[in-house]
Chains A and B, each alone.
Chain A
Amino acid sequence: MSRGRSSRVITAVERETELALVARLRQGDADAFDDVFAAFNTRLFTFLVRLSRRRDVAEDLVEETWLRLVKHARRLRPDTRLGPWLFTVARHLHVSFNRSRVLEDSAAVSLIAVWPFSFEQASPFEAAAASELERRIERALAALPSTSREVLLLVGVAGLTHSDAADVCGITPEALRQRLHRAREALATALERDAATEPPALGGIASCPSR
């Protein structure tokens, strides 16, 4: 895990640059792929690690995401928005992975009804969190249903606009806003509950100013 937001700075791909990159990708330009890879790889991998809560799974899914881009590069629409496109593929791959995992696990038939199921293990981020506050946020994030977690990750962590995040999730911007609102509330509740059950002082999130 790395600190800071340097990777987020370089991912702010301007629209004109993005269109040029798409045009070059459509022509099979390997240098264009390098640029896209450098711009999005960290954000995609971070998204997948938090979404899947497993580093090994995220590694495989991010690799598959890039392979999908390469496979479809020549067929991309000229006005393709790379960020939403990549996050959509990554999200679909994660959903497929979860489905296949549930189906493959013969002992988990009863879990299909409550999919997405909960994991008991700590997320990689939780284990590596530098502060108690971070640990609590990671724990609360990991405990959320994946539909809530993904919108928080897309908008709050990956920095996508509401419109782009709605595209990624396949819902309308209005539905995204509602889902995001509920997810924020669920996260805040989880954090407050966590703060109440753990005595060590860390007002942290509980003392954040209300709007």
Chain B
Amino acid sequence: MSESLMRLLAELPTAELEPERAERIRKSCRARIVRPAPHAFSSRVTCAQVWQALVAALGAAYLIGAIIEAVRVYRLS
């Protein structure tokens, strides 16, 4: 039963978009794909890079501060 059922499913008719609509979609997509990388993507990458740099800078400042403080404390003691 299952094999014949699957064969029947495979033989069912296909559906076609109206040619005008299919052509409109195709042309629209063609026009979009040749454009350079979208601005939103590049700005998102830039934003991520800025955040990473900021976090790294804060981390470095904290570390340096901790080292300075440790040196100060040891000198005092």
Contact = CB atoms under 8 A, between A and B. Distances in A.
Nearest to A58: B15
B73 interface: no
A146 interface: no
Nearest to B3: A211
Interface residues of A, number: 57
A188 B5 contact: yes
Given A156-B9, A208-B4, A1 B14 contact: yes
A33 B21 contact: no
Contact of A55 (B5, B10, B11, B15): B15
B17 interface: yes
B6 interface: yes
Contacts of A67: 28-29, 32
B14 A7 contact: yes
Interface in A103-143: 124-125, 128-130, 133-134, 137-138
SS of A interface (majority) = helix
Given A37-B26, A211-B1, A30 B8 contact: no
Interface stretch (A40-48, A80-88, A194-202): A40-48
Contact of A205 (B5, B30, B31, B37): B5
A94 to B, nearest CB: 15
A3 B12 CA distance: 8
Contact of B13 (A2, A43, A70, A210): A2
Contacts of A50: 15
Interface string A1-23: 11111011000000000000000
Interface string A49-75: 110000100110011001101110111
B10 A5 contact: yes
Contacts of A159: 10
A125 B1 contact: no
Given A137-B9, A157-B9, A208-B5, A1 B15 contact: yes
B39 to A, nearest CB: 12
A210 B30 CA distance: 48
Given A37-B26, A49-B15, A70 B32 contact: yes
A50 B14 CA distance: 10
Interface of A: 1-5, 7-8, 25, 28-30, 33-34, 37, 41-43, 45-46, 49-50, 55, 58-59, 62-63, 66-67, 69-71, 73-75, 124-125, 128-130, 133-134, 137-138, 152, 155-157, 159, 181, 184, 187-188, 205, 208-211
5 contacts: A42-B15, A66-B25, A138-B12, A184-B1, A209-B1
Which 5 A-B pairs rank lowest in CB-CB distance, beginning with the nearest? A156-B9, A208-B4, A30-B30, A49-B15, A46-B15
